[in-house]
Amino acid sequence: MTAPPGEMMVESVAAPAVVQPEGRSLWRSGWIRLRRDKPAMISGVFLILLALIAIFAPVMVSLLGHPPNEPHYDLLDPNTAAPRGRFGGMSWHYLLGVEPVNGRDIFSRTVYGARVSLLVALLATATAVIIGTVLGMLAGYLGGLWDTIIARLMDLLLSVPSVLFAIAIVAVIPNKAFGLSGSGLRIGVLVFVIGIFAWPYIGRIVRGQVLSLREREFIEASRSLGAGTFTVMFRELLPNVAAPVLVYATLLIPTNILNEAALSYLGVGVRPPTASWGDSLAVASHGWYSIEPIFMLAPGLAIFATVLAFNLLGDGLRDAFDPRGGR
């Protein structure tokens, strides 16, 4: 699976303090710098539109397409099982053509595939952020045995081949477990596998930030006033590590989209006939892309555009909250 960005960051070195103009918070100054970054703002608008498309996929498909799992054998050549017409059977009624063998609407499946990819990526990122932030703060603030245990756990998880782990879990998990079944269970497995192997990257960043913050005057003052461990961690430290965590989470989402697509391509993603960008690529790779490239272009471009938008937005956020100033 693709290694998340920032893996080579030195965990023990924190960014220098941010000097903000008088009367301006870090978040306000960051937003002002972000608004000047046109690629990041355009990417943000694109991602909002993509999220709306995923949420209202049934409405869009009812207006511009056909049900994603509905076959249209009458649009296929009975001798070759390939779509009739040029460009995979593209027409005003089938904007991106139809799939070979079953004739399902590619436009509808691409729109519905956005739901799975975004859902898995966002939930896996949220899982990684929550676990990584909490354990990273515990390791950095408490130190000693806690730090050793959590650091070795992060090293252990980073050494495990996550793709093989996912394949092994899918091979042994029953058709129904934890109150889930079918595609819901597969989505849960994807979120677990991707999230559990992604949190150490965030954990290392948070740990490095906390190591530099725990001896600061405001932490000492809070402790001297009787604040407990968790009060200091969540009231004093958490707001100070929120900005780098937000930036890294934005850069982690596209990595998780690629991971979901890769796992679906290998057959350990959602169960057919549920639409998924990775599954669509798998179908196209079975020799059909050589007949009509549109079969691979539609899901491939969807993945490319989404990952690029998240990366540009993440770069914009990183520049906006960079202590040395944005662009």
326 assigned to some structural domain: no
180 beta partners: 177
Gap between the Cα atoms of 322 and 327, Å rounded: 9
Q: Residue 100: pLDDT above 60? A: yes
Question: Is residue 19 in some structural domain?
Answer: no
Residue 293 in domain: yes
Q: Could you read off the pLDDT of 16-40 as tens digits, one per residue?
A: 444 445 556 667 777 788 888 899 8
Question: Is 114 among the domain residues?
Answer: yes
59 Cα distance to chain centroid: 25
In a domain, 26, yes or no: no
Residue 249 sits in a domain of what CATH number?
1.10.3720.10
Instruction: Measure the CA–CA gap between 283 and 66, rounded to whole angstroms.
Output: 19
The DSSP secondary-structure symbol of 93 reads S
Residue 24 lies in a domain: no
Q: Provide the domain count of the chain.
A: 1
Residue 5 within any structural domain of the chain: no
Average pLDDT on 302-327 reads: 79
* Measured CA distances, 63 to 8, 55, 56, 93, 108 (Å): 47, 15, 11, 10, 10
**Domain of 212, in residue numbers:** 50-321
> How many angstroms separate the CA atoms of 224 and 90, rounded?
70
Considering the chain, what is the average pLDDT of its residues? Answer: 82
Confidence category of residue 47, pLDDT binned at 50, 70, 90:
very high
Q: Are 194 and 256 in contact (CB under 8 A)?
A: yes
Task: Determine the Cα angle at 312 with ends 125 and 327, to 5°.
Answer: 120
Max mean pLDDT among 89-93, 122-126, 180-184, 319-323 falls in: 122-126
Residue 202: predicted pLDDT: 93
Tokens of 169: 């879990």
Please return the burial class of 114, using the count of CB atoms within 10 Å of its CB with bins 0-12, 13-18 and 19+: buried
What digits encode the pLDDT tens for the residues 138-197? 998 888 899 999 999 999 998 988 888 888 887 777 777 777 777 788 888 889 889 999
Q: Is residue 30 part of a domain?
A: no
Q: Where are the alpha helices (DSSP H) in 160-237?
A: 162-172, 182-213, 217-224, 229-231
